[in-house]
A = this chain, B = another copy of it.
Amino acid sequence: MRKVAIIGVGMTKFGALWDRDMTSLAVEAGVKAIRDAGIHQKDVEVLYGGTMSGGLFANQEHLASKISDYSGFKNIPSVRVEAACASGGVALRQAYLDIASGAHDIAIAGGVEKMTDLGNYSVTKILSTAADTDSEGIFGATFPGLYAMMARLHMHKYGTTEEQMAAVAVKNHKNALTNKYAQFHKQISIQDVLNSPYISDPIKLLDASPITDGAAAVVLVSEEKAKELCDTPVWIAGSGHATDSISLHDREDILTLKATVEAAKRAYLQAKITPKDIQVAEVHDCFTISELLALEDLGFVEKGQAGKFTEDGQTEFGGKIPINTSGGLKAKGHPVGASGIAQAIEAVKQLRGEAGNNTGAETALTHNVGGSGGTAVVHIFRR
């Protein structure tokens, strides 16, 4: 397996982009990534793109062909992958494996979702197709409800409070203030979160990531090409991908996302490091409880301690381990197929010293989850 570097990143503004369609978002992100890498369309040898549901959200499947076509990449192999909200992370990993294998030297990995243009289906209903339709969806379960069960049990078992969960949202909104691509540029307070309406007790509106349109892309190259093309390559030091039971009822412990634990274990092993070596991380905060679970499952704190750790400011910019310096899914926005790639972009910017909340980190981690933990992808990046 060869070394692989990211040498270009690009993303669209995240938000409710009613004047844009899915394809134009994907093309914009791709073109920006290519320009940032200093290469041309004709240099791109292979594309991996993550989208959760082109069919249900935007009435378009066969996405990799269409996006390659509209991007001017005609005739290259082009692969769409889908792993619900982890589609972007899986696209990144497949592009990484492709370059690492020697199959190609220059790949583009992207993600896109257009969630705000809808006909018959509601967004929450579409997102619920990432849960088990046969054992969860059939009873009307949607993701706010599934994560609410996890949150309630975490509160019961470890004393986690609604204020501690709110602290995740407050921090991520603050972080987003310096990210020009973020959906929200609005500081909120603990009281704002606590006063927002319950959408699924104990999860409130401001505990949840928003509905977002957007796209993100990165250019990955082999070591040889990285040395030829780039002065500031960011290396992928570890890549882990794991699945778990798609439904909550079939897990030993619904407060441990085994997919996260396994994916992280594989990534740490490959990078030959431990959680202590991570200096900044983008984790999957689709709800505030998700960020707390991620801190625990990634090994940054002991199980049950993430609420206190967050309340103490340890995950803030300037804290022990800054989490979601981009604003996270919560405030940057969560166009589901794009989120895994946007996380990688923040990691690259941190390691290049170009991030809005710049930590000067030399080692970064990204963590992308599908559904309630049926899939998790973890990547470790180094300067």
Say yes or no: is A100 at the interface (Cβ < 8 Å to chain B).
yes
Interface residues of A (CB under 8 A from B): 1, 21, 23, 52-56, 58-66, 68-69, 73-84, 90, 93-94, 97-98, 100-103, 120, 126, 129-134, 137, 241-247, 250, 258-259, 262, 370-371, 374-375
- What are 19 pairs between A and B in contact, CB < 8 Å? A55-B56, A59-B129, A59-B133, A60-B133, A61-B84, A62-B375, A64-B82, A66-B132, A66-B374, A69-B247, A74-B258, A75-B242, A75-B243, A77-B242, A79-B81, A79-B90, A97-B97, A97-B101, A100-B101
- Chain B nearest Cβ from A222, distance in angstroms: 13
Question: Quick check: A74 and B245 within 8 Å, CB to CB?
Answer: yes
Question: Quick check: A374 and B243 within 8 Å, CB to CB?
Answer: no
Interfacial chain B residues near A131, Cβ < 8 Å: 62
Interfacial chain B residues near A120, Cβ < 8 Å: 120
In the assembly, what is the distance between CA of A74 and CA of B131, in Å?
16
Beyond A79-B94, A374-B66, whether A60 also contacts B129 by CB under 8 A is yes
Question: Quick check: B370 and A62 within 8 Å, CB to CB?
Answer: yes
Question: Quick check: A61 and B129 within 8 Å, CB to CB?
Answer: yes
Q: From DSSP, what is the main secondary structure of chain A's interface residues?
A: mixed
In the assembly, what is the distance between CA of A90 and CA of B244, in Å?
24
Interfacial chain B residues near A69, Cβ < 8 Å: 243-247, 250, 374
Beyond A23-B134, A81-B80, A126-B55, whether A259 also contacts B75 by CB under 8 A is yes
In the assembly, what is the distance between CA of A241 and CA of B23, in Å?
22
- Chain B nearest Cβ from A123, distance in angstroms: 13
In the assembly, what is the distance between CA of A79 and CA of B79, in Å?
11
